[in-house]
Chains A and B, each alone.
Chain A
Amino acid sequence: MKKLLSLAAALLISAGAADAKWWIFGKSGQDAGLRYLYINGISADETGPKVKVFSETLPPGGQVRITGRASAGKGGVGSVRISLDDKATWQDVKFSDNGSFEYSFKPEPGRTYPMLLEVTDTAGKTNKVDETRREITLSAENIQAKVRETLDAMFDAYNKEELSRFMGYVGEDFAGDKDILERAVKRDFDALSSINLRYTVNNVAAGAQGKVFVSVTYNRMVSVNKTGATSTDSGSTELVFGSKEGKLTLFSMKQPLMFGLSDASNVASGTVLGNTGTTLVLDDSGALGGAGTLVTIACAAGETPAYEFDNGAKACAPGGGMNIWFYADANPNLIGLVTTLEKTFSSTLSMLSSAEVRNTAGYTSQPSVPDAGDGSSYCFNYGTDFYCVEMVSGPTNADRTASFRVKQF
């Protein structure tokens, strides 16, 4: 790491100190121009030609702030002018000795301002004005409406499995890495069909730095191509958007994930506090699973948590004790009561492979479910179906709540 940082530092110093043009591919450093340009703190290189801003993300006073630095090669900077009406009128902009300048204006909602900047050096040469053109619009929408429009478009692209359209809503600076997310979404599309995602917004917060925080309650149904099964899950999750390029673009997502279920650990950057819903993940084989689906069943005193593998139904059965009952519709016998075969694996669900689980060697009929142990999985075989459970916490006499992960292989 030190070597890499040293190399990068050397590169930067040499690039800044020398008249290094090797990387700018033929551009001359002698012409009048702009060293950089920012619109409300976002580099004009990243905004694209159209910049849409929202009242909620503007600095107090509702002003759009344009900052930059003019350069003039060997000569000095003579003047900096700005036009907000496509060159119809120009205003002088004050600049300092080193060429840096700042200009603010308060836009009207819904109006578009075609902005151009003109830099003239002391010899009378000007920059390529048209290259600075940006259309700045203060959206008449509120940020909540924009969030919903963006989420609707993302969910529509994901539901229709249109990868390039979906990735158009992901920022280059996506925290989990945009390329990792793209491959994970591609794998989602190969693994799933008939995707149906719905949501409502729980919370929206916009900051002056242009970022927008969104918390949603989601509800999802998918068909899994590998198994032919349908699956539903729901819960709440959080996303953060940036507002570059004239639209909201995804900056980060937390677990449970909406998109990129095939590589959840690399796509997500954090876990939502307080999510009590189930979580859908896809494993390397394209089947549902990964770390399994987290299931929590809270029962009253004197009841025992019960769970049906094949349809995910939860129940509280009469009778106490320390057991959790697990059963399947096709075979309503309780696990451990003779007819089912089971096997203990000394690894977590995420480490179990399908081939390993589906190898019936070592499966035996046990009189009762063994005690849960850390890092272990318990797998059950019903005919051609295999289910595995990893305990998180079991019920006690004082608290009749069972929490466990379940995965079908």
Chain B
Amino acid sequence: MNRTAAALFLAFVTPSAAQQDQEAEFHASNEFSVVSNAIEGDGKAASSLTKGFNYLDVLNVYGSGTRGSWTYSYTAGGKATDDIRNDAKHLSLTNLQARASDKVHTLAVGDVFESFSQYALATSLKGASYRYAKQDSKLPEVTGVFGWAYPRWDSVWKDPVTRTVNRQAAGLRVKENFNGDLWAGLSAVSGKDTGRINPTDPLYDAKNYTLDFNYVPMPGLTADGEFSKADSAQTPSAGAAQVSANGTAAHFELVGDADPSRVSVEYENVEPDFYSALGSATPDRRKVKAKWRYKASKQVTVTSGLLWYRNNLDASSAAGTVRNWKPEISAAVKKPFASRRYSYADLSYKFDRKYGGGSSGADHYMNANYRDRFGPLDSDTNLGYTLYRTKTAVRDAKELNFNTSLNSRHQLSSVVLKPSVNLGTWYSRDELADTTDKLYEYSLGLGCEAPAASLTGDVRFGQNMLRKETGDDSAKFFAALSAYWRPKLLASIKESTVFLRADFNDYTFSTTSRNFREKSVTLGLNTAF
């Protein structure tokens, strides 16, 4: 398989082939960086950095052209690193695709992402697809796809490090555009797992049959929906008996959008036994949602909404049914003070009611945001109050957030300076534990732009301090520098950027054996041509 992929890649990117084209273009970009990390202190095991020197290189190429009545394009990319936290593999292929089409037929191989619909097929495959679509014809659009649902190329050639369950996928979609106002699609998708890696890996053999549509009955009103039926069999682990399941998923939405209102109504029902191996679905959920955005005037927009959902649709859960109510209302006001041209206020209230299944909570979220400009200073201030109130001894807490930032911009000759200040605090009173915790944050920054020298940069430092009534207090002091220089290296290089990033983080705790410091310096070059 890897030899096939390499041959395919070379066939498309060989310059001699490109030169024969009537019209061809080729672009490539590469980013190479080296990073040096140092971690010190008794608690250094808690760091998420890899100590020492490491490198990372990311390469991408893209090309397109025409041959006779056919047009083609190709893209390929790779990643190389010696830091296992960046990737489990030192060298990996990140993308590979070739596509060719005349005005009717389209063929794609490699990374194929034919998103049929949400429930049917919403993931990429390593394989091939074909689409027939004839414009100005009453014939339907037909798409066929076949491949493997691996999240990365290494898995295709069963690399021991990234090997995973082998999921074969095949799908067919027929889409008809009836009169411009209405289209509908029928999809059949199959996902079959083979080749368990661990004895506890569940294997699925799932088929999904889906109908989706979009209808515009009048200007500004759109209805779309999807209904999918799943027929699946699961083998939970090696040697276990196969379990069959059948379930359906349905989604329907109406959106009316015309000034001054936008109204949407949504309904979704995904049965617990609905399984889509290749689509996106949250099983065991029935949801109803309505939202209304109303522009009351040029200055005031009011948004209100209600979201309700529940689980345990087949009443089989011993834990019981959990129901959620989430109403909300918010108002955004431009120029709340007529004399203040740049003033903007946003107020919101959200409520979460959750009950059943051994839990019961009623949480309130209130938030106020105000933005304005005072002379040369742009300000953005946020005040939030949250009340987490439960009846199951999980969380009874009052939390208060306050953040404010001041930004400014000053031009000194050909250099632009952007100083900024951020201040924040978080206060939490936990009534169950009878404790009060506080978090204080501050940071100071200075951005710099020198267009004549093709230079931009930013330096920032600050501190987060968590003060706990019981338990370890902690603090993080940080300092960060970033600089980007875009020199003209070669005429053939469209763009190049040399970048430098340096970070220092100092974590301190009441229990000093947990203390550690991180120093990280990254130097890199990004080129595109």
Q: Which residues of A contact B (CB under 8 A)?
A: 1, 4-5, 8, 11-12, 15-16, 20, 23-25, 27, 29, 33-36, 43, 45, 55-56, 59-62, 67, 69, 71, 98, 100, 102, 142-145, 164, 175-177, 179-180, 183, 186, 190, 193-194, 196, 198, 200-209, 211-213, 215, 217, 219-221, 223, 225-230, 232, 234, 236, 238, 240, 251-252, 265-266, 268-270, 272-274, 283-286, 311, 313, 351, 353-355, 392-393, 399, 401, 403
- B73 within 8 Å of A (CB atoms): yes
Contact of A142 among B46, B60, B81 (CB under 8 A): B60
Instruction: List the one stretch of B95-103, B333-341, B447-455 in contact with chain A.
Output: B95-103
Contact A207 B73 (CB under 8 A): no
Complex interface: chain B residues within 8 A of A220 (CB): 48
Contact A25 B260 (CB under 8 A): yes
Q: Distance (Å) between the CB of A263 and the closest chain B CB?
A: 10
Contact B64 A183 (CB under 8 A): no
Nearest 9 pairs of A and B residues by beta carbon:
A274-B164, A60-B101, A16-B217, A207-B113, A205-B124, A205-B111, A213-B124, A100-B180, A269-B280
Complex interface: chain B residues within 8 A of A351 (CB): 319, 358
Contact B394 A27 (CB under 8 A): no
- B369 within 8 Å of A (CB atoms): yes
Distance of A393 Cα from B240 Cα, bound (Å): 14
CB-based nearest A residue for B125: A205
Instruction: List the one stretch of B11-19, B197-205, B408-416 in contact with chain A.
Output: B197-205
Complex interface: chain B residues within 8 A of A193 (CB): 426, 439, 464, 466
Q: Distance (Å) between the CB of A264 and the closest chain B CB?
A: 10
Distance of A69 Cα from B178 Cα, bound (Å): 13
Contact B113 A201 (CB under 8 A): no
Contact B394 A284 (CB under 8 A): yes
Distance of A269 Cα from B466 Cα, bound (Å): 34
Contact of A34 among B124, B219, B365 (CB under 8 A): B219
With A270-B281, A351-B319 as contacts: A311 and B71 at CB distance below 8 Å: no
Q: Distance (Å) between the CB of A42 and the closest chain B CB?
A: 11
Contact B215 A12 (CB under 8 A): yes
- B456 within 8 Å of A (CB atoms): no
Distance of A134 Cα from B408 Cα, bound (Å): 32
- B162 within 8 Å of A (CB atoms): yes
Q: Distance (Å) between the CB of B301 and the closest chain A CB?
A: 14
Contact A274 B45 (CB under 8 A): no
Q: Which residues of B contact A (CB under 8 A)?
A: 27, 29, 45-48, 56, 58, 60, 62, 64, 71-73, 75, 77, 79, 81, 85-88, 92, 94-95, 97, 99-101, 103, 106, 111-115, 118, 122-124, 131, 135, 149-153, 155, 162-165, 167, 179-181, 197-200, 215-223, 237, 250, 252, 254-261, 263, 267, 269, 276, 279-282, 285, 287, 289, 305, 307, 309, 319, 326, 328, 346, 350, 352, 358-359, 361, 365, 369, 386, 388, 390, 392-395, 397, 399, 401, 426, 428, 430, 432, 437, 439, 464, 466, 468, 471-474, 476, 507, 509, 514
Contact B474 A186 (CB under 8 A): no
Distance of A326 Cα from B58 Cα, bound (Å): 41
With A142-B29, A142-B60 as contacts: A1 and B269 at CB distance below 8 Å: yes
Contact B326 A179 (CB under 8 A): yes
Contact A144 B60 (CB under 8 A): yes
Distance of A311 Cα from B511 Cα, bound (Å): 14
Complex interface: chain B residues within 8 A of A353 (CB): 358, 392-394
With A203-B124, A284-B390 as contacts: A183 and B199 at CB distance below 8 Å: no
With A194-B464, A284-B390 as contacts: A203 and B94 at CB distance below 8 Å: yes
Distance of A217 Cα from B466 Cα, bound (Å): 29
Q: Distance (Å) between the CB of A73 and the closest chain B CB?
A: 11
With A20-B218, A200-B81, A353-B393 as contacts: A274 and B155 at CB distance below 8 Å: yes
Distance of A389 Cα from B41 Cα, bound (Å): 30
Complex interface: chain B residues within 8 A of A217 (CB): 85-88
Q: Distance (Å) between the CB of A281 and the closest chain B CB?
A: 15
Complex interface: chain B residues within 8 A of A35 (CB): 181, 216, 218-219
Contact B282 A60 (CB under 8 A): no
Q: Distance (Å) between the CB of A153 and the closest chain B CB?
A: 15
Contact A177 B289 (CB under 8 A): yes
With A23-B221, A24-B220, A55-B64 as contacts: A225 and B428 at CB distance below 8 Å: yes
Distance of A34 Cα from B219 Cα, bound (Å): 7
With A213-B124, A401-B198 as contacts: A43 and B222 at CB distance below 8 Å: yes
Contact of B99 among A60, A142, A144, A399 (CB under 8 A): A60
Complex interface: chain B residues within 8 A of A399 (CB): 199
Q: Distance (Å) between the CB of B35 and the closest chain A CB?
A: 11
CB-based nearest B residue for A284: B394
CB-based nearest A residue for B437: A225
Q: Distance (Å) between the CB of B369 and the closest chain A CB?
A: 7
Complex interface: chain A residues within 8 A of B250 (CB): 1
Contact of B466 among A25, A186, A223, A238 (CB under 8 A): A223
Complex interface: chain B residues within 8 A of A98 (CB): 179-180
Contact A36 B390 (CB under 8 A): no
CB-based nearest B residue for A235: B88
A-B CB contact pairs (8 Å), 20 listed = A12-B223, A12-B254, A23-B263, A24-B221, A27-B219, A27-B259, A29-B218, A45-B222, A60-B72, A60-B106, A142-B62, A179-B289, A190-B426, A209-B113, A232-B46, A251-B122, A265-B282, A284-B394, A351-B319, A353-B358
